[in-house]
Structure 1
Amino acid sequence: MTASTRHHVPARLALTAVCLGFVMITLDATIVNLALPAIGAEFGEPSTAALQWVVDSYTVALAAFLLTWGEAGDRWGSRRVFEVGTAVFVLASIACATADSLPWLVAARAVQGAGAAALLPSSLALIVHQFPDAGARARALGVWGGMSGVGLAAGPVLGGLAVGLADWRLVFAVNVPIGLIAIWLTRRHVTETTPQRRARLDVVGQILGTAALAALVAGFIEAGHAGWGDATALGLIGAGVAAGIAFVAAEKVITAPVLPLGVLRVRPFAVATAIGGLFNFCLYGTLFCLALFLQREWQLPALVAGLALVPLTLAVGLNAFVSGRLTHRFGERLPIVAGGLIALVGAVGLALLPAGPSPVLLIVFSVVFGCCSLAMPAMTSLAMNALPGKAGIAAGVLNAARQTGGAIGVALVGGLLPGTAMWIVAAGYAGIVVLTGLVGPPEARS
């Protein structure tokens, strides 16, 4: 082993540790979807609305606590926050695997989401810290984004295997060894960031932000189940909007807000944040929708349904790796626009799927749709570079927007048939392309 190789080994192991934590989060995005019918059958709760909460209790908690954990990483050190988040995620996964009722599972999923909220911003902040060189950082972000694709791609296979050959509880137990390895590697090979002195945490903003997101998602789920004229749905949506307005008002006057509104006046960062929300809205809504569609409408067993989703998730993973290289060579705009346009075509194709099984069409349009991930590392790079020196808050805001979009996507389009849902998703990708035009050329942003 040469001296140069020895020099790079710790950096690679540090990146591996960070990516393993991220893989757990993305793995759950697809591995749980395939287990939902089995979970509903065991607990006697087959309604789509109830199963949506198994997904959205996780994503709501994840989105709600991202900003607080991003701030905590800047305050106490990102490595410490990463380790705490991983430990919480592992313990909550054990609670999910041993749940004896649907409410218990939903509650454990929420705790799992709170742990994941610590992992996302701290993992990005640690990459920025470990790779100060811009080129090396772009490549590391490409690997980080690609590893999320690995989690997405492995999810359907592992979920289908768990349900088809053993038990749905294994979809949560698989997180335990991954998390323990991530903690061990982090303690040995990841260096701590420099803690910064900050004012007290914004408790008021945290409460109002969580209330707004939870109420809106609950309202969207209820509206999808009972109709948009339902009084409960409208009341929840109204409460969510009111809490959101109060949240913005509070953030304007609080000394150390959980969401510094000033960062949204930085155009590239605001655009990247909006793109992130739309991206997860489209991807998470699509994965939830197709997982139920394949098992309920096409009557595919869980294992076969999982295998049917592999072309999509594999394409997501491969294109995320490609995006890192494209971003390093051509900048952020090209991969984002390319990903949005190609995914739009794939979404239209999935919208036209027949009611009966048509595996060839599903595979073709799934692969096209999977090119959406060309935008993923690129939008992350755009956001992180737009706020130099504020890696924690940048990662927190970006991923809060992404997970909020994912929660709303599952609530709004997850329970629809592809013929309706995918037209909404296509409109979302069109929005991503339009938003990218607002960034401006690289020279105008330097």
Structure 2
Amino acid sequence: MTTITAPTTGPAANVRSARRWLALSVLALAQFLVVLDASIVNIALPVLGEQLGMDTAALSWVITAYVLAFGGLLLLGGRLADRYGHRRIFLIGTAGFVAASALAGLSVTSGMLLGARALQGASAALLAPAALALLTHLFPDTKDRTKALGVWGGVAGIGSAAGVLLGGVLSATLGWQSVFYVNVPIGAIVLIAIPLLITRDTVGARGKLDIPGAVTITGALVAAVGALSAIEQVGLTHPLTIGLAAASVVLGVAFVVVERRTAAPLVPLEVFRNRNLTVGNIVMLLIGAAMVALFFALSVYMQAVLGYDALATGLTQLPLAGALVIVAGIVPAVISRIGAKPTLISSLAVLAAGLVWLSFAPADAQFVTDILGPSILIGVGMGGAFVTTTQLSVDGVEGGESGLAGGLVNTSQQIGGALGLAVLGTIASLRTEALLDSGVAAPEAITDGFSWLFLGTAAVAVLAAIAAGFARKS
């Protein structure tokens, strides 16, 4: 079985809770909101755009503004949590997320909405790594932490799947504003409960903060996510795409140079000597790439091709989400029996099989015969993969770097999501355009384009399984 070393040092080493499983449920609730908000807006975009006067290009920034801020600031957020206290930074991030969500729901102009989405992403970048760090300290025992991380990984997967479901239900019944307002009461519960459930943590060393490292890595990640988003919006060879990609490379190189020379680096490069942490982040990047592209394509396919409304589209995700929940609860026991590495590889194989099956869905697909089976397989694979990958990503991490580990795995998921949507979305779009130009009817052309996308996500899952093979033996 994979050994997950209990933290012994760092600002949160003294964090305690007499009701730690209840505390875990509250932390997981906050993480659920963070993951959910990356996708819940998708179905509401058409109505939102009509009411706020936003064209297609502007609407894409409703998603991009959140992802840019979230993905770009995660590593800094993790380090701030290690430095100033995990509970403190978690509460600051949650408060900012609640305020930004309310602001987004109140938006009357596109600029107001985009600003609120960027603030949501920045707040999530503080919340997410701090929450995972708190979890690792609340459960120092290997067996208990395996169960806790099973819940955590399951929540991450459920949040991705539930975005389409809740987005459809809320936007169809309560209006587009409700996809933002739903965060407010839930976030308020988190803000009230956590101080009651988790003791105040101590702070880390107050030495000089690695400002050059923070600036270069944040700039590199923002430029990278921006370049990937620009591929979808303006094309691979557009000057904006090329410029952002070049800036990301230059800033990334500068970051490595800074980290090698500074006495107190933002991201100690030695952390990547931990093989399971490195493999876990690579796998999470690939899973994020497959899942974001999948849920985007499913949402469009159900509505544009099969003619489902927003509510029906959301409800079709129930079997996938249900399978994921069930498997996430079972996986910790499976890991204890056969080990993390075999569990992860098997889960990714099931995921790839479900995605290949889904690629055969026709333009006149019936849900029960063509969509239900693949959805269940995908849910099973996702449940196992998210739980196990999260465990690998914090394997052997000491207390003083638990926030960093949380920032790394969340960054991998966000960068992977942007990469998958840009690359696989472009492939699907090019295939659809080619078929339309040759005279193929729109439903069949769109379906075939998405078939290529689903096959692409299956290939990514296979690559993730290959990467998982390099994990340390469990």
Q: CA contact under 8 A between 1:11 and 1:130: conserved in structure 2?
A: yes
Instruction: Pick closer, same or farther for the CA change 1:170–1:414 going to 2, 3 Å.
Output: farther
1:325 to 333, 342, 352: 333
User: Can you list the C-alpha shifts for 1:131-185, whole angstroms capped at 9, x where unaligned?
Assistant: 1211111111112222334444543333212221221110010001111111111
Q: CA contact under 8 A between 1:152 and 1:317: conserved in structure 2?
A: no
CA–CA distance in structure 2, aligned partners of residues 154 and 423 of structure 1: 22
Indicate the residue corresponding to 1:344 in structure 2: 352
The CA deviation at 1:115 is: 1.1
Q: CA contact under 8 A between 1:52 and 1:410: conserved in structure 2?
A: no
The CA deviation at 1:198 is: 4.6
Counterparts of 1:112-127 in structure 2 under 5 Å? 112-127=120-135
Instruction: Pick closer, same or farther for the CA change 1:316–1:54 going to 2, 3 Å.
Output: farther
Q: AA paired with 2:414?
A: Q
Indicate the residue corresponding to 2:384 in structure 1: 374
Farther-moved stretch of structure 1 (414-423 vs 272-281): 414-423
Q: CA contact under 8 A between 2:75 and 2:408: conserved in structure 1?
A: yes
2:407 to 391, 396, 399: 396
Indicate the residue corresponding to 1:59 in structure 2: 67
1:168 aligns with 2:181: no
Q: CA contact under 8 A between 1:343 and 1:372: conserved in structure 2?
A: yes
The CA deviation at 1:79 is: 0.9
User: Can you list the C-alpha shifts for 1:102-145, whole angstroms capped at 9, x where unaligned?
Assistant: 33322211111111112211111111211121111111111222
Indicate the residue corresponding to 1:96 in structure 2: 104
The CA deviation at 1:274 is: 0.8
Q: CA contact under 8 A between 1:13 and 1:185: conserved in structure 2?
A: no
Indicate the residue corresponding to 1:263 in structure 2: 271
Counterparts of 1:26-425 in structure 2 under 5 Å? 26-47=35-56, 49-360=57-368, 361-370=370-379, 371-389=381-399, 390-414=401-425, 416=428, 417-425=449-457
User: Can you list the C-alpha shifts for 1:31-54, whole angstroms capped at 9, x where unaligned?
Assistant: 22221222233334342x543332
Q: Which runs of 5+ in 1 are unaligned?
A: 1-6
Instruction: Pick closer, same or farther for the CA change 1:122–1:171 going to 2, 3 Å.
Output: same
User: Can you list the C-alpha shifts for 1:397-423, whole angstroms capped at 9, x where unaligned?
Assistant: 222212221222233334644222222
TM-score by length of 2: 0.86
The CA deviation at 1:374 is: 0.5
Farther-moved stretch of structure 1 (272-281 vs 100-109): 100-109
The CA deviation at 1:393 is: 1.6
1:439 aligns with 2:450: no
Q: Which runs of 5+ in 2 are unaligned?
A: 1-15, 429-448
Farther-moved stretch of structure 1 (225-234 vs 71-80): 225-234
CA–CA distance in structure 2, aligned partners of residues 340 and 224 of structure 1: 27
> What percentage of aligned pairs have identical amino acids?
35
Q: AA paired with 2:36?
A: L
CA–CA distance in structure 2, aligned partners of residues 210 and 172 of structure 1: 26
Instruction: Pick closer, same or farther for the CA change 1:433–1:114 going to 2, 3 Å.
Output: same
Q: CA contact under 8 A between 1:64 and 1:206: conserved in structure 2?
A: no
